[in-house]
Amino acid sequence: MQNKVLILDFGSQYTQLIGRRVRELNIFSEIKPYNKPPEDLSQYDAVILSGSPYSVRANDAPHPDLSEIKGKKPLLGVCYGAQYLAHFNGGNVEKSNTREYGRANLTSISNEEPFFYEITEGSQVWMSHADTIKELPENAKLLASTNDVKNAAFKFDGEDTYCIQFHPEVYHTTQGKQILENFLIHIAGLEQTWTPDAFVETTVSGLKAKIGNDKVILGLSGGVDSTVAAVLLHKAIGKHLHCIFVNNGLLRKNEFQDVLEQYEGMGLNVKGVDASARFLDALAGESDPEKKRKIIGRVFIEVFDDESHLVEDAKWLAQGTIYPDVIESVSATGGPSATIKSHHNVGGLPDYMKLKIVEPLKMLFKDEVRRVGRSMAIGDERLGRHPFPGPGLGIRILGDITAEKVAILQEVDHIFINGLREWGLYDKVWQAGAMLLPVNSVGVMGDERTYEKCVALRAVESTDGMTADWVNLPYEFLQKTSNEIINKVPGVNRVVYDISSKPPATIEWE
């Protein structure tokens, strides 16, 4: 059995980072909204309370029942979690006179405490709160301060309940991983056994038990997620897995045939379905990004429904949904934070489709999916492929979609991606692609005036897609790529490079 950590989400922008940091310690973590905690708490070996945009002093502040947790399980309160435990146990939390945000340094560290094992005096931490803990509860012991925050860390006597005003999960807390390790391993006594091999073993076993001898339809995209999902399912149910690769008319140049060829030899049962005309007809005249996503998602489901009827007794639809998809679509697993955008493979099936959903990767981040793939000996050529959005070029063509626009963007994208490979830049970039903008600009070719399309190139570095920064590609590469696009792609006379990070921008433009 794996040790499991429960993270109660109060709506912090950093909650998902807590989950990632715990998993980096090879301990499984699961995030649940504070107002919908699991009914069975016995399966969790430790609990972490996240930060929150709320104030504990507000009437509508999150107020969960911790009677089955505090004093009974190792408990760590982070920021709001610390304020909550102080406020509702006899301490005093007040609005801070100064904004406590940004870098700070720990002082007066209680070194005899295992919580601060190997943490050095002056260690940098990251603060992000408007309230401050003025007085600790009577049964609490101060563990550390900063220059501006006296009660930066404390614990409750006689129990493994620890509280910190700073965020150990963020990059700016330089020894944050060590602090989490101290709490989870040295205090809670958890074992570091959640590895890719262990995930494969438990997932395959769970899929066998869940699916049995039922037949499963899986929509392959050619990307990392669906490929790893397919291999996991193949390990579990073998010939009962029926993979479908759909050409939605929004794939990269030559991708439909290339991907089908790449899957040959992997032992998977794959069928190619060219539904490009169906998708383009459904998208005709639609320019709203959310509506385009939903149309693409709907037609995918319709195609799979049609194909499922050709597979006798198919009972399940498998999807390569991963954790960031779920987070961005359902508001931090149902918590208070904001929904960013819908994902075509998240949110269930229509009533008319009599298939149950199975999503073997839905609790994994992208980098974890790749590690799982390597543990199953999937080749680096497949695992190293850049992420490509499910709606494909449909969300890289801003405005309405036509076959002509798709053809233009396919050529631009082909030049850009091939150029990255030729210059040895492809593996240094996490994701790259081109966007066709809904504007024309004036240009000059020869002695003639042109009024043609503008395209934007985008390349980012990231680990999981939750945050990303733009890649500083060489000017010489951008210059050559721009010239080649303008000279070889009719209808384009201007190329720009996107230097926005996520946040505030997203990786895709729609």
Q: Any idea which residues carry the catalytic annotation?
A: 79, 167, 169
User: Which parts of 276-321 fold into alpha helices (H)?
Assistant: 276-283, 289-308
Say which DSSP state 89 is in. T
Instruction: Round to whole Å and give the CA distance between 461 and 468.
Output: 6
Tokens of 135: 């007085």
- Can you tell me whether residue 213 is helix, strand or coil? coil
Distance CA 366, CA 364 (A): 7
What's the chain's length in residues?
510
Contact 203, 230 (CB under 8 A): no
109-to-114, 121, 143, 154, 317 alpha-carbon distances in Å:
11, 6, 6, 10, 53
Q: How far apart, in whole angstroms, are the C-alpha atoms of residue 63 and residue 37? A: 12
Residue with tokens 């769970």: 206
H or E, element range at 84? helix 80-87
Dihedral sign (CA 244, 197, 170, 332): positive
To which H or E segment does residue 7 belong?
strand 4-9
**Burial of residue 429 (number of CB atoms within 10 Å: 0-12, 13-18, 19+):** middle
Tokens, residue 256: 């439909």
Among candidate residues 14, 11, 99, the one with its CA nearest the CA of residue 58: 11
Q: Is 207 exposed, middle or buried (0-12, 13-18, 19+ CB in 10 A)?
A: buried
Strand (E) or helix (H) holding 330: none
Q: What is the DSSP letter of 73?
A: B
Is 64 strand, coil or helix? coil
Tokens 């509702």: give the residue.
Answer: 88
Strand partners, 314: 215
Identify the sign of the CA torsion 71, 74, 77, 81: negative
Supply φ then ψ for residue 418, to 5 degrees. Answer: -60, -35
